[in-house]
Each structure stands twice: as structure tokens, then as C-alpha cells.
Structure 1
Amino acid sequence: MTQPSTSNTLEAQPRLPRIALVGVHGFGERHLENLDRLTAAGVLELVAVADPQPPAEGTLATNVAVYASLDELLAAGPTPDVVIISTPIQTHAPLALAAIEAGANVYLEKPPVASMAQYQEVMAAAANAGCLVQVGFQSLGSDALPAMDELVASGAIGEVRGISATGMWLRNKAYFKRSRWAGKRSLNGTDVVDGVATNALAHAVATGLRLAGARTVDHVHSVDTDLYRANDTESDDTSVVRVRTENGMVLTCALTLSALVQSAPTVTVHGTLGQLTLYYTEDRVEITTPQGIREETFGRTDLLENLLAARSEADLLSPLSGSGAYVTVLEAIRTADAPRAIPSAFIVWEGVGDDAHAVVKGIGSLIRRAALGQATFAELGAFAEPGALIEPGTSSETPGFTVNGTLVATVQDGTHIRPTSSPRPYLHPVRTLGGTVVTDHVPEDHVWHLGAGVALQDVDGINFWGGRTYTRDAGMYVWRKDHGRIVTESAEQGDGYRQEQLSWIGPDQSPVLREQRVWRWAAVGSSTWQLTLDFTLESATGRPVLLGSPGSNGRPQGGYGGFFWRLPKVADATIWTPEMRGEDAVHGSIAPWLAWSGTFDAGPDDAPSLAGGTGLGHPATLVFLASPQAPDPWFVRHEGYPGVGLSLAWDSPVATEPGYPVHRSVRVLIADGFLATQDIEQLITTLGEPA
């Protein structure tokens, strides 16, 4: 910004920039502290403030004029060089327009405006007047951001797979009573758009967009919003916002004001070789590379000082033009449906009176799962009560399986699963007849684990499992651009059965396999039901296709692939076959059945069932019956994560050829309570099978 100078003396001295502050309370108090610092340093002169409620006596120097409004301040003249606007959100645009019309440069607090229309109006006014507008996203002044850009460009963390922003803050009832506009989407017909992503943790969104290279409106391809509220407000306080940029980058922002304890918010750049995590309130970066983990702390440029030094918009660290991507997100939130109230069963209140704050049960795990899996809370099945579950009926509804009038399984089409998790259809949640959830999906430890279904990590070199790929050459798991997807071409569902025609499609969009999958379900007594999966895999290439696994590629005991069932957290688990007991003993064994019993839980200790089950903490038993077509070994995990599968390619690949498909059938008995070996054998005998 060109500094004006006086010329009425022979020795003309450049005068200090003249600054006015509009809004001296709330965050305005922070601006007053910064203005005091810069005044003492001889950088600027605070000449006036405007606020209908003037600051306390003695707060300002005697030479600072005090006005009730910006209009009065501007009318008194001369126009300040910079007007800082730190007022309620809905007043930002009209005040900025007034300051620009008077010829002042503007420091505009976040969010800069309350709508895209306002953004375009202020942008046009600033351009016509030749004024500079800096937006108060202080984190964009951090030296950490260009340092992270350089690390990414150097290949230190490999190829970037996505970016996530997480924030877990807590705000009490008093926070939402601090002003008339707090917690409001609009006020007297005027947009406010207060909320966790648009105000309290807006820096997380803005910083994530900056690292994703999204600054202008054109840089944003799409915005998905999933908005909730734990407090009695209009605006959201617990939400996921997922942004896809024009260059294909995905930024997932998972944010809440209803955490148990407040923690430093982060923005993480996820790479194939490591990651960079910025604690943006601390300008601290945790750098994870193949060489190890280290931390660096960076300096920060004050945005007001940056505005004073700027000669053109290109010199600004947080110009209004660079907030276009952020305003696109704000506009998506503004025009979205009103946030959904989180059911009271998922909320605990801590404290009393105005100091009380809502805590969403299990929110820490939900935030992490959303960020890692690039998933919304809705896609994770969060906050769903049993009565709110979608029952099957029409083609537009999510299909499900019902036994004796009870919804026991829901079919997910997998279309919202991130590409590196190999999107595919699966069942989740699967429940006992008593309502206990016995599957999990997008868990923190392996976000590519998806309920109950079929997946393979190596199909002619294509990963249809998700996550890293184990290769013989590397002798380890590595990220590759080798992920396929499984899509449902057609489906027919009737009484007790569902038949699906599926296509396994490679990264080049060519079909690799055709699958026919049939699910069947039926009651087995009053507390047990049976689920049968019958699937056939046939080459769609006109030539043989090899079906492999990490085990067939050289990883000892890593022969997973084919049928796989991801369990939720299970306490006091017991795993056994007719002859063996315990994870180590049954893993890799061949047995007619494998049982898993314990106390099931679909989330962390403080979370109700994420899928809306009513049986949290109830005992259940799963009995997996081996395929009659081949003696496939059991794949079992418990210590690292709970999962069971039948290995299609334990230590060598299996070929499928045109006209010669690979066929497997698996049955699962799903029972409430603990079953003993005698109970299991009796059940199997009842079904007409040898025990």
C-alpha cells in the first residue's frame, strides 16, 4: 500500500498510516491489543474507533476519536488509510462497501461475507475503487504454508492423496448467548451463516483450501455438506465439509464444537510416503517421511502489517480474491438444508448453567474416521436412531434384509467410498435379531475395511481391496495408483434373497471380472438368523485372470482376500474352530466352521452404536461356515483389528477363465448371546449339515 506523505515542510516526513477500527468488543479486543503493539513500534497511528457500545474508559489513548458508527467516522473525515472491520458477520459486507466507497483499504475479519452475492459485490467495488481488501485468516500468514508447499514439491511425502482438516473444540451455552447473531443462520431475514465451519473453525477450512491450491471460486469443483447440531441453535456445530477441487484434490474438514476436551486443530496433507500435519494455531508442523518424524515451528507475518506494506493485491497473504474458494464453501453451507439435530441419546452435557457444554459421544473417533476415510458423518452411519433407519421398499431407498420383521442388514452401494479404498458394494450394518451391530466400516485402523462382502487385493495387478498394495518386489506395502472399483450393474431382490450382477472395473475403466453375487437370509430359531453369500467370479477380459493376495505375493500369513467380514470392537472375544482355539491357532487353519463370540460394540468406549443399533455392549456369536467348493484357509485377525475371512489365494493365486469361473459359498449364523461348541453343532445339524 502506498504510504501518503506530508509536503508542508522543507523536510517532509512520511506520515504513519492512519487506522480505524470498527467493532471494539469480542475479537475487536484482539485487534486493539495488536494496534497497541504496532503503535508502540511506530508502525501506525490508531485515529478512530466505531462501536455503538464504546470501549471502557481508559482503554484508548486520548487522541483516538470514538464514534457510534462507521458512517459517523467516515463523515468526520479524513478517510483513514485502513479500516479494520471486526463486527457481526452480517454487517461485514455493507461496512466494507462503505469503507471502500470512501477510499479506504480494508482489513475484513472472517468470514469476509455472508453470501456469494455479497462476495461478488465487495470484490467488484474494491476493483473499481482500486482498494485492497485483506481477509483476517491469520493462519494464512504462517511461514509454515510455503514450507509445506516446498516439502510437497520436493517429493518428501510422495504423491499427495488428499488433505484433511480436523477441529475438536468445546463451546458452552454462554458462547451461543453472547450476541443476537450467535448460532444463527439468519437474523430478521439477513444471512448470518454462523457455524463451526464458517466461523469458529473457519481457519481450518481456509488453511486446508490454501494447501489444496484452491483460492478462487473456479478452483472448487464441488462441495458436500453434512451438518449437525448438538446445541439448541440454528447453525451447525458438528459437521463434515468435503471439497473436491478442479484438479481432483479432496479436502475433508471434520469439525465440532462439542468435544469432551479442546485440542489444537490440524490440517494434514496425506502422501504416499508420509504426511505433513500443521497445528495452525501454533505454526507447528509434524513432518512424517520414510526417514522418521520431526517437528518444526515457524514464524508468522501479521496480516495488518502485510496489508500496510502491500503495494498491490499480489502482495497480500490473504486477499479477498483468494477467499473465493472459502466463500464457495460458505455458500454451500448457507444454501444447504438446516442442520439436523443430533439425537439426545448421542449427547452428554458437562457442567451446569451457562457453563454447560454438549459432548457428542465418540466424536473423536468419528472426526478421525471422517478425515481418514474422506467420508461424511452420514456415510459413516453416525447419529442414526433405530426408528430412523431406511426400510427397503422402493428402488430409491437403501435396500435391506428383514427377518421376522426386523431389519438385520443394509446394502451399501459403496459409491461414496474414496477411490483409494476401492469402492465396492457391501453389507453394513449387520445386526443380530436383538439389534446388536456385528459389522463395522471405514474404521480408524483400516478405513478401506467395509462391512461384509467380497474384496481382493490383487486381480491381475489391480487392487480391489483398498489401501496400500503388498508387492513382491518391494517386500512391503506401498501406495500405488492401482485401485479398482466394483459397481452394481443390476440387482433383483425378493423374499429372502438378493441377486446382483457386478462389474470389477480397473483404473483404466475396463472391466476385469464379472461377478454374480447372491445373498440369502432366513431365521434359525428365535435368536439366530442365517446369512448366505454365494459369489462367482469370471474373467471379463477374454483371457485368464489371476486372483491373488499379499500372501500369494510373498507376505507370510497375509493371504486375505475373497469373502471378508470386518467386525466392530469386541470385548472378551473368543475365537475357535472344532479343534483349535485362539487367533494364532485358527489363523491359516482349515476347518468346517469358525466361531467368534464376545461383547460387541460399534465404536469407542464412550460412543453409542454409530449405525444406530440398540444392543451396544450385548453378547453375540458369529459362526462362519466354510465354503464347500474348496478347502480355503481361515484368515483371522483380533489383536490388530477384528476381522474374519476365507482366503481365496492363501499363498498362491487362483485363475479364473472365460467359461471357468471361481465359485464360493459362505454361510454365517448370527446369534444373540454366547454359544458353546455344543450349541453350534446342534444349530448346524438342525440346518441339515454335518457338524
Structure 2
Amino acid sequence: MTGDAVEVLRLGDRTVAEYTWRPDLPASLAPRPYLHPVRTLGGTTVTELMPASHRHHLGVSVAVAEVDGANFWGGRTFLPGHGPAWLDNQGSQEHMRWLRRRPDQLMHTLRWKDIDGSTLFYERRTLSWRPAGPDAWALDFTFSLINMADRELPIRSPAAHGRTGAGYGGFFWRAPSGECRVAASTDGDSVHGQRARWLSVAGDGWTLVFLGADEATRGDRWFVRTRDYVGVGSSLAWDDPLVLVPHAGLKRRIVTVIADGELPPGRAAAYADEFTA
């Protein structure tokens, strides 16, 4: 799009991802930096951008359904007793300055603003990437938020407003639509709404392994959807709001391994050992 600013992530002579850090997007999508396309080493794209089903899904991003009434997810806002509704409440994440731009790492600061331009959060974000074997590479995504408002800021998901199972909000990856297979380190039939050391999603010729890379992130629940679309997120506020008082902060770190083909048994657990040690 005209006006976009993009950083290219490379490993050797391969472009593995593009990071749009200053997007030119309509307000209804809650404009924010995103990664797309993200590719395997073999060149398969494993993200979707503004798909017809949910145009506010932007590849890989940090998207929060509600912060004190402001929508940083895009699209409609879930209202208790009513359901999803179009409101003029979409916020945006605005690049402030670069702290580091290296061949294997990007670090910058952002400002989360509501629709009226008031700053709610200050963010520091770091993206790092490296090989993870002959057929895979790893994306290390860390973000820290600090409450810059003069009041408490509750972070909520629709589930916190009573929409059962809709605990999304935080790191979110929109993967290619289609048949996929999900596995996780947790017991039970589904990882959705559960805590798990690792989670893998395998599609046509690709596998993604998601790891909570620090204790705080491992304490969050996973949002996993494979019906209608494929999306995976690490949830900041599942059933209850996460409230930050003025000047308080939070930090989350997710490592995603992007692999060609389907991983053999035990490889996901081995990645968890490697990247969360």
C-alpha cells in the first residue's frame, strides 16, 4: 500500500518475512505494525493479510480486543448483552523511533493511541530471528507495555465480557486457511483455552511451533481457532480483565518456529527445550 514502510527479514539470501512498521491502513482495522508475508525457508507463505473473512487480521501482530473501551483488534467490538457492534473506538499503534536495526534483530518503540489521539500505552518491541535447523527458522517476538495514562487501564477479551471461548487478545498469528493439525504439550482433546508449554499447527507443507519463552507468557492461555479460519494467539486476559495501574507494565515473549513440512514426533518438545531454557 502507498505509504507503507517495510523492513525485510533475511537469513542468508532468503527473505523469510517482511515487517510493515508504519502501515497505511483504514482506522477500522486498528492500524498496527505487522509481519506479512512470513515464509518457510522453502518459500511457503504461512500468514494471511486482511482476508475476506476477517479483514482486521494482519498477519502476525499484537492485537487487543479492548483497552478501557478502545479497540486495538480492529473490526467490531463485543458489547455485553448485545454482541459485536461497530463503534468509533478503534485505536492505533504508532511507531516512535528505532532503537536497533541489525541483520538479525529489530527493536523499536511504539505508542498505543485511542481514536481521540490520547496515549494509553508505551511499547518496546523486539523481533529477532535465526536458523533452527536445515528446514526451519525461529522468530523471537517480545513486547513490553507500560500504562502511560493517569488511570487504571483494564485489558479485556470478549470472554471477559461473557462471550464464552473468545479469550483472544495479545500476540496473534493469522495462518493460511485450510485443513490443519494441532498438537500441544498439554493433556486433553483441545489446547484452546488451556496453558501449554508448546503448541504446533501443521498445514499443507508447513508447521508452526509456538512457545511461551518466559514464565509470564507460559502462564497465559492459548487461543486456537481452526474452524472458518486458522488463528493462534497468546491471551493476555482470558476470563478476567488484566488491569494495569498508572506506570505499571507487562512483558511477553513468544518464539515461533517456522518449518517446512510436518515435524517428526518429539521435535516440537525439543524446540521448547532449546528456546525456553
- TM range, normalised to the smaller chain? over 0.9
The one-character-per-residue Cα deviations of 1:464-523 (angstroms, maximum 9, x if unpaired) are 10111001142x111111111111111231131111100111111111111111111111
The one-character-per-residue Cα deviations of 1:286-312 (angstroms, maximum 9, x if unpaired) are xxxxxxxxxxxxxxxxxxxxxxxxxxx
Aligned to 2:48: 440
TM-score in terms of structure 1 length: 0.38
Q: Quick one: which amino acid aligns to residue 197 of structure 2?
A: P
Match of 1:596 among 184, 196, 201: 201
Bigger CA radius of gyration? 1
Question: What secondary structure is seen at the aligned counterpart in 2 of 1:509?
Answer: coil
Write the distance in 2 (CA, Å) between the matches of 1:437 and 1:415. 20
Aligned to 2:257: 669
Match of 2:239 among 629, 644, 651: 651
Write the distance in 1 (CA, Å) between the matches of 2:12 and 2:272. 20
Aligned to 1:636: 224
Aligned to 1:577: 184
Verify: 1:482 aligned to 2:70, yes or no.
Answer: no
Verify: 1:468 aligned to 2:56, yes or no.
Answer: no
Per-residue deviation, 1:545: 1.1
Aligned to 1:357: none
Write the distance in 2 (CA, Å) between the matches of 1:485 and 1:526. 38
Aligned to 1:510: 118
Question: What secondary structure is seen at the aligned counterpart in 1 of 2:43?
Answer: coil
Q: Quick one: which amino acid aligns to residue 194 of structure 2?
A: S
The answer to whether the 8 Å contact 1:538/1:657 transfers is: no
Per-residue deviation, 1:580: 4.5
Write the distance in 2 (CA, Å) between the matches of 1:522 and 1:414. 24
Write the distance in 2 (CA, Å) between the matches of 1:473 and 1:570. 33
Aligned to 2:206: 620
Write the distance in 2 (CA, Å) between the matches of 1:565 and 1:640. 15
Q: Which residues of 2 match residues 4-15 of structure 1 at below 5 A?
A: none
Per-residue deviation, 1:626: 1.9
Question: What secondary structure is seen at the aligned counterpart in 2 of 1:646?
Answer: strand
Question: What secondary structure is seen at the aligned counterpart in 2 of 1:551?
Answer: helix
TM-score in terms of structure 2 length: 0.93
Q: Quick one: which amino acid aligns to residue 562 of structure 1?
A: G
Q: Classify 1:674/1:484 alpha carbon distance in 2 versus 1 (closer, same or farther; 3 Å).
A: same
Aligned to 1:456: 64
The answer to whether the 8 Å contact 2:213/2:275 transfers is: no
Question: What secondary structure is seen at the aligned counterpart in 2 of 1:423?
Answer: coil
Q: Quick one: which amino acid aligns to residue 646 of structure 1?
A: S
Write the distance in 2 (CA, Å) between the matches of 1:483 and 1:594. 30
Question: What secondary structure is seen at the aligned counterpart in 1 of 2:72?
Answer: coil
Write the distance in 2 (CA, Å) between the matches of 1:494 and 1:646. 27
Verify: 1:586 aligned to 2:177, yes or no.
Answer: no
The one-character-per-residue Cα deviations of 1:74-98 (angstroms, maximum 9, x if unpaired) are xxxxxxxxxxxxxxxxxxxxxxxxx
Structure 1: segments with no counterpart, 5+ residues: 1-377, 380-395, 600-618
The answer to whether the 8 Å contact 1:578/1:677 transfers is: no
Structure 2: segments with no counterpart, 5+ residues: none
The answer to whether the 8 Å contact 2:135/2:259 transfers is: yes
Q: Classify 1:639/1:580 alpha carbon distance in 2 versus 1 (closer, same or farther; 3 Å).
A: farther
Write the distance in 1 (CA, Å) between the matches of 2:138 and 2:23. 27
Per-residue deviation, 1:674: 0.5
Write the distance in 1 (CA, Å) between the matches of 2:49 and 2:5. 20
Percent sequence identity is: 36
Q: Quick one: which amino acid aligns to residue 421 of structure 1?
A: L
Per-residue deviation, 1:657: 2.9
Q: Quick one: which amino acid aligns to residue 410 of structure 1?
A: E
The answer to whether the 8 Å contact 1:586/1:636 transfers is: yes
Write the distance in 1 (CA, Å) between the matches of 2:139 and 2:96. 22
Question: What secondary structure is seen at the aligned counterpart in 2 of 1:411?
Answer: strand
The one-character-per-residue Cα deviations of 1:434-464 (angstroms, maximum 9, x if unpaired) are 1110001100000000010101011010001
Q: Which residues of 2 match residues 71-150 of structure 1 at below 5 A?
A: none
Per-residue deviation, 1:684: 3.3
Give the structure, 1 or 2, with the largest relative contact order (CA under 8 Å, sep 6 or more).
2
The one-character-per-residue Cα deviations of 1:145-186 (angstroms, maximum 9, x if unpaired) are xxxxxxxxxxxxxxxxxxxxxxxxxxxxxxxxxxxxxxxxxx
- RMSD, aligned α-carbons: 1.8
Write the distance in 1 (CA, Å) between the matches of 2:140 and 2:148. 25
Match of 1:522 among 120, 130, 135: 130
Per-residue deviation, 1:404: 2.4
Q: Classify 1:397/1:555 alpha carbon distance in 2 versus 1 (closer, same or farther; 3 Å).
A: closer
Aligned to 1:495: 103
Write the distance in 2 (CA, Å) between the matches of 1:454 and 1:445. 19
The one-character-per-residue Cα deviations of 1:367-408 (angstroms, maximum 9, x if unpaired) are xxxxxxxxxxx57xxxxxxxxxxxxxxxx9621111122111
Which protein is richer in strand relative to its size? 2
Write the distance in 1 (CA, Å) between the matches of 2:73 and 2:272. 31
Write the distance in 2 (CA, Å) between the matches of 1:634 and 1:683. 18
Question: What secondary structure is seen at the aligned counterpart in 2 of 1:458?
Answer: strand
Aligned to 1:660: 248
The answer to whether the 8 Å contact 2:5/2:20 transfers is: no
The answer to whether the 8 Å contact 1:402/1:408 transfers is: yes
Q: Classify 1:570/1:414 alpha carbon distance in 2 versus 1 (closer, same or farther; 3 Å).
A: farther
Match of 1:561 among 160, 169, 181: 169
Q: Classify 1:397/1:639 alpha carbon distance in 2 versus 1 (closer, same or farther; 3 Å).
A: closer
Per-residue deviation, 1:433: 0.7
Write the distance in 1 (CA, Å) between the matches of 2:84 and 2:94. 26
